[in-house]
Amino acid sequence: MKLELRGITKRFGSLTANDHISLTVEPGEIHCILGENGAGKSTLMNVLYGLLPADEGEILLDDEVQHFEGPGEAMKAGIGMVHQHFMLIPVFTVAENVMLGHESTGFAGFLNLNEARKRVREISAQFGFDVDPDALIEDLPVGVQQRVEIIKALSRDAKVLVFDEPTAVLTPQETDELMTIMRQLRDAGTAIVFITHKLREVREVADRITVMRLGKVVGEASPTASNAELASLMVGRSVELTVQKQAARPGDPALQVRGLTVIDHIGQLVVNDVSFEVRAGEILAIAGVQGNGQTELTEALLGLQQHVEGEIELDGNPLSGLSVRNVLDAGVGFIPEDRNEDGLVAEFSIAENLMLDRSDSAPFVKGGTLQLGFRSTFAAEKVSEFDVRTQSIDTAVGTLSGGNQQKVVLARELSRDLRLLVAAQPTRGLDVGSIEFVHKRIVQARDSGIPVIVVSTELDEVDALADRIAVMYRGGIVGIVPGGTDRETLGIMMAGEQPDDPNGPAPDPHDDEGRSGTRGEAA
Interface residues with other proteins (CB under 8 A) are: 49, 51, 70-73, 75-76, 81, 83, 86-92, 96, 99-103, 105, 108-111, 126-132, 135-136, 139-141, 143-144, 152, 173-174, 177, 180, 184, 187-188, 263, 265-270, 272, 307, 474-475, 495
Q: Shortest approach of other proteins to residue 120 CB, angstroms?
A: 12
SS3 24: strand
Q: Shortest approach of other proteins to residue 431 CB, angstroms?
A: 20
Let me know if 93 is exposed, middle or buried by CB neighbors in 10 A (0-12, 13-18, 19+).
buried
Q: Shortest approach of other proteins to residue 197 CB, angstroms?
A: 20
Q: Residue 155 in contact with residue 111, Cβ under 8 Å?
A: no
- Identify which of residues 140 and 327 has a Cβ nearer to other proteins in the complex: 140
Q: Residue 266 in contact with residue 421, Cβ under 8 Å?
A: no
- Identify which of residues 174 and 467 has a Cβ nearer to other proteins in the complex: 174
Q: Shortest approach of other proteins to residue 74 CB, angstroms?
A: 8
> How many other C-beta atoms can be found within 10 angstroms of the C-beta atom of residue 455?
25
Q: Residue 230 in contact with residue 34, Cβ under 8 Å?
A: yes
Q: Shortest approach of other proteins to residue 83 CB, angstroms?
A: 7
- Identify which of residues 12 and 226 has a Cβ nearer to other proteins in the complex: 12
Read off the amino acid at residue 450.
I
- Identify which of residues 140 and 160 has a Cβ nearer to other proteins in the complex: 140
- Identify which of residues 117 and 468 has a Cβ nearer to other proteins in the complex: 117
- Identify which of residues 36 and 96 has a Cβ nearer to other proteins in the complex: 96
Query: Which residues, 6+ apart, have CB-to-CB distance to 351 below 8 Å?
Result: 375, 376, 378, 379, 393, 394
- Identify which of residues 187 and 513 has a Cβ nearer to other proteins in the complex: 187
Q: Shortest approach of other proteins to residue 91 CB, angstroms?
A: 6
Q: Residue 247 in contact with residue 213, Cβ under 8 Å?
A: no
Total count of residues recorded for the chain: 523
3-state helix/strand/coil string of 157-195 = CCCEEEEECCCCCCCHHHHHHHHHHHHHHHHCCCEEEEE
Q: Shortest approach of other proteins to residue 327 CB, angstroms?
A: 23
d(CA 317, CA 313): 5
Q: Shortest approach of other proteins to residue 200 CB, angstroms?
A: 19
| Beta strand 3-12 pairing with 15-25 | antiparallel
Query: Which residues, 6+ apart, have CB-to-CB distance to 245 below 8 Å?
Result: 443, 446, 447, 465
Identify which of 202, 198, 209, 217 has the alpha carbon closest to the alpha carbon of residue 40.
Answer: 217
- Identify which of residues 49 and 276 has a Cβ nearer to other proteins in the complex: 49
Q: Shortest approach of other proteins to residue 56 CB, angstroms?
A: 20
Q: Shortest approach of other proteins to residue 294 CB, angstroms?
A: 14
- Identify which of residues 64 and 187 has a Cβ nearer to other proteins in the complex: 187
Q: Shortest approach of other proteins to residue 78 CB, angstroms?
A: 13
d(CA 127, CA 181): 7
Q: Give the max Cα distance, the chain.
A: 74
d(CA 65, CA 190): 19
3-state helix/strand/coil string of 47-98 = HHCCCCCCCEEEEEECCEEECCCCHHHHHHCCEEEECCCCCCCCCCEHHHHH
Q: Residue 99 in contact with residue 111, Cβ under 8 Å?
A: yes
Identify which of 436, 439, 427, 437 has the alpha carbon closest to the alpha carbon of residue 402.
Answer: 427
Residue 509, preceding bond cis, omega within 30 degrees? no
Q: Shortest approach of other proteins to residue 177 CB, angstroms?
A: 6
- Identify which of residues 126 and 326 has a Cβ nearer to other proteins in the complex: 126
Q: Residue 144 in contact with residue 131, Cβ under 8 Å?
A: yes
- Identify which of residues 131 and 328 has a Cβ nearer to other proteins in the complex: 131
- Identify which of residues 151 and 209 has a Cβ nearer to other proteins in the complex: 151
